[in-house]
Chain A
Amino acid sequence: MSNILEVQSLFKYYGDKAALNDVSLAVPKGKVFGLLGPNGAGKTTLIRIINQIIDADSGEIRIKGEKLKADHIKLIGYLPEERGLYKKMKVGEQLLYFAQLKGLSNSEAKKKVRAWMDKLEIWEWREKRIEDLSKGMAQKIQFIATVIHEPELLILDEPFSGFDPVNAELIKNEILELKQKGVSVILSTHRMESVELLCDHIAMINKSRKVLDGSIVDIRQQSKTNLYHLKIYSQASTFPPTWQRVEGNFGYDKFLIQLNGHTTNQVIEEAIRFGDILGFEEVIPSIGDIFIQRAKDTDHE
């Protein structure tokens, strides 16, 4: 599997404060890569360096195996966290301008603008100014401006913040569609819910350092706690002391059970003696839980 983007031991300081401290990561081609971390962790700095908006103090970035250079701008589509459009400019002209700035020729750009506006059914807005559009409409334009030049790498910084639910869903579908076409996506966010559904791979940055990196499946596996939830309908008043009661007011009892070297079958056999089992399932930490745990761990270091 080849990588579209490789970052090697990147350092960036603002004065004495480190924004990136020895960060390395690799974004596999055709995958959605989640870049997670709390606000101020260094995500935006990393993204800005990849977009050649600012320079790193040291370290190396490679795109498709080549050292980062000005031409790579054309391969990247970037939706910044802080985004906007020219309010007084017409929709069509604006999209054309952004497409040309990315290096498309005039005729190419015109074709792409038409195609995307048709796709999102907004061609009739082309003569409208942004200030006359609703916020949701402007968000669609914003997204088109990001993908108009058909980038191979899409970098989305907090893509769902500021988007209403309908547009967020639309954008999510567009992202998945682009992924189908082989586009690689970096999705930077501090909101974990959106990550689990979309990302194949994640890296986590906390306080300028990378603290976690891997595919979602692997990370979940590593973060296994061997904890199970047992839901039971029981007349008994006393239970084994290793069972930790979670709730018990709805006609059943719910316990958190640690395997402690037993198999799941052994635990179930023991449980049957107390009553009717309503449910037994593994406790799988969400990416959000893992994130909080990791952030706490690294804060203590």
Chain B
Amino acid sequence: MNKIFLVIKREYLARVKKKSFLLATLLTPLIFPTILGLFLWIAMSERDSESLRIIEVIDESNQFRLESSGQYAFSFSDRDREEAKEMVKSGERYGALYIPPIDLEKPLGIVYYSEKNPSMTLIGNLESALKRKIEEIRLYNSGIDPEVISGLRTSVNIRAITLDNAGEEKMTNAMVNYALGFITGILIYMFIFIYGNQIMQGVIEEKSSRIIEILVSSLRPFQLMTGKIIGIGAVGLTQFLIWIILISAISTLVMGYFGMQMPQQQALELANPEAGKMMEASTTDMGQYMQVIQDINFVKLVLTFIFYFIGGYLLYGAFFAAIGAAVDTPSDAQQFMFPVTIPLLVAYFGLFIFVLDDPNSNISFWLSIIPFTSPIAMMGRASYGVPFFDLALSMGLLIIGFLFTTWLAGKIYRIGILVHGTKVNYRTLWRWVKTA
């Protein structure tokens, strides 16, 4: 036990004391906001600098008066199609929309001409504008006043409230839960890959520099392997902890600087309870998000995150150690990365395609139960709230899972670290597992 601790200490200090660790730890929290800010800035300045984009509309039936919006303006004239196309080519118009005389039941033959490939958003906007127009015309044709129609158009915002057994009502918002599940899942995915790779590199270093035989004459290979996995995991946790502290400090600073609504809203609530209530009842997005965020059980979410963070890392960490032990150089490791990357990728894509979309579907259930995918997939469900039974089953299986992979990897590791210069394939690995 004491020897495992010595290994943990060495692995931890050797990495934390490096300059590169300090740099990565301090700079990363700054990089993301910087990149985000840069994108926002570019987007903003682009929007400002861009002139109005004029789209020529050739409306053969003369019934589509599209409303100009944002940076797109529609120009209506009696030019024919060929003339309009020429204008697009000469750059006089951004694009041309051709609407033939169409059957409103089956609107076909609408064409958009442009010099450049049109963006998906533009086409989408045009489609929905036309759709709305057709609906309006058809309603009008069936005898409904346009005034009534525009009077009917309201914006709807559903407040979703989940009921739990304790009778508490919680406001949920798919956006917030989606974002939380997305971020936590991705973090675990990245953590496993980044620090798993460090385990592998560390094992290969000990093997290729031939320290390994001196080490294993002093302690059991299993102690060495677990010590290394835990030590590197502790480095990762330290890094994340520092990031969380730095990011919350930076965002507090930034928020304070820009005088965000948050403190204002609180001040308002304190000063005038009526106003506070109105604020809460209002359907503005910000208020709703705040409410949802307040309703999330963060303690539970953070604990779940830490559990899957560590559990997933331990499960895959053992594999990374075994791979490192089986090869002589990092480039040889490629052939064995397959069994590690595939389940991780399945979990990663499963998170996007199934879990975040519908956390309670069958496939989401299985993805969040099977230990190889659960650390990532469960985070997608956890942010929405998971039944206790599912969570307990998944956690239990993850513990069994990493005990199993550590045991299996230990067998490969034990033999692999002493083998030099032989080509190792999957069959060799299986033989090691059997003999060890």
Chain A residues engaging chain B, CB cutoff 8 angstroms: 48, 51-54, 73, 76, 78, 80, 82-89, 97-98, 100-102, 145-146
Taking CB atoms, residues of chain A closer than 8 Å to B418 are 48, 53-54
Taking CB atoms, residues of chain B closer than 8 Å to A87 are 209
Taking CB atoms, residues of chain B closer than 8 Å to A100 are 6
Taking CB atoms, residues of chain A closer than 8 Å to B3 are 101
In Å, the complex CA distance between A78 and B210 comes to 13
Taking CB atoms, residues of chain B closer than 8 Å to A52 are 217
Indicate whether A97 sits within 8 Å of B6 (C-beta atoms), given known contacts A85-B209, A89-B14.
yes
Cβ–Cβ contact A80 & B210, under 8 A: yes
Cβ–Cβ contact A53 & B217, under 8 A: yes
> B219 within 8 Å of A by Cβ?
yes
Taking CB atoms, residues of chain B closer than 8 Å to A146 are 214
Cβ–Cβ contact A51 & B217, under 8 A: yes
Cβ–Cβ contact A85 & B211, under 8 A: yes
Cβ–Cβ contact B213 & A83, under 8 A: yes
The 29 listed contacts between A and B (C-beta, < 8 Å) are: A48-B418, A51-B216, A52-B217, A53-B213, A53-B418, A54-B418, A73-B217, A76-B217, A78-B214, A80-B210, A80-B213, A80-B214, A82-B420, A83-B211, A83-B214, A84-B210, A84-B214, A85-B209, A85-B211, A86-B205, A87-B209, A88-B14, A98-B214, A98-B218, A100-B6, A101-B6, A101-B215, A101-B219, A146-B214
Taking CB atoms, residues of chain A closer than 8 Å to B14 are 86, 88-89
In Å, the complex CA distance between A54 and B216 comes to 9
B2-31: which residues lie under 8 A (CB-CB) from chain A? 3, 6, 10, 14
B394-421 Cβ-contact flags toward A at 8 Å (1 or 0)? 0000000000000000000000001010
Chain A-chain B contacts (Cβ-Cβ < 8 Å), number: 53
In the assembled complex, the CB of B359 is this many whole angstroms from the nearest CB of chain A, namely 45
Indicate whether A78 sits within 8 Å of B217 (C-beta atoms), given known contacts A97-B6, A101-B3, A101-B6.
yes
In the assembled complex, the CB of B431 is this many whole angstroms from the nearest CB of chain A, namely 8
Contact partner of A84 among B209, B217, B219, CB < 8 A?
B209
B197-227: which residues lie under 8 A (CB-CB) from chain A? 205, 209-211, 213-219
Chief secondary structure at chain A's binding surface: loop
* A142, closest chain B residue (CB): B214
In Å, the complex CA distance between A51 and B215 comes to 11
In the assembled complex, the CB of B145 is this many whole angstroms from the nearest CB of chain A, namely 81
In Å, the complex CA distance between A88 and B19 comes to 12
Taking CB atoms, residues of chain B closer than 8 Å to A85 are 209, 211
In Å, the complex CA distance between A85 and B210 comes to 7
Taking CB atoms, residues of chain A closer than 8 Å to B210 are 80, 82-84
* A13, closest chain B residue (CB): B435
* B415, closest chain A residue (CB): A54
In Å, the complex CA distance between A145 and B217 comes to 12
Indicate whether A86 sits within 8 Å of B209 (C-beta atoms), given known contacts A100-B6, A101-B6.
yes
In the assembled complex, the CB of B350 is this many whole angstroms from the nearest CB of chain A, namely 39
In the assembled complex, the CB of B432 is this many whole angstroms from the nearest CB of chain A, namely 11
* A105, closest chain B residue (CB): B2
Taking CB atoms, residues of chain A closer than 8 Å to B6 are 97, 100-101
In Å, the complex CA distance between A84 and B420 comes to 14
Q: Which 4 residue pairs of A and B lie closest in terms of their CB atoms, listed nearest first?
A: A84-B210, A80-B213, A84-B209, A101-B218
Given A83-B210, A83-B211, A84-B214, 16 more A-B residue pairs with CB atoms under 8 Å apart are A53-B216, A54-B418, A80-B213, A80-B214, A80-B217, A82-B420, A84-B209, A85-B209, A86-B211, A88-B14, A97-B6, A97-B10, A98-B218, A102-B218, A145-B214, A146-B214
In Å, the complex CA distance between A85 and B209 comes to 7
Taking CB atoms, residues of chain A closer than 8 Å to B216 are 51, 53
Taking CB atoms, residues of chain B closer than 8 Å to A54 are 418
In Å, the complex CA distance between A48 and B418 comes to 10
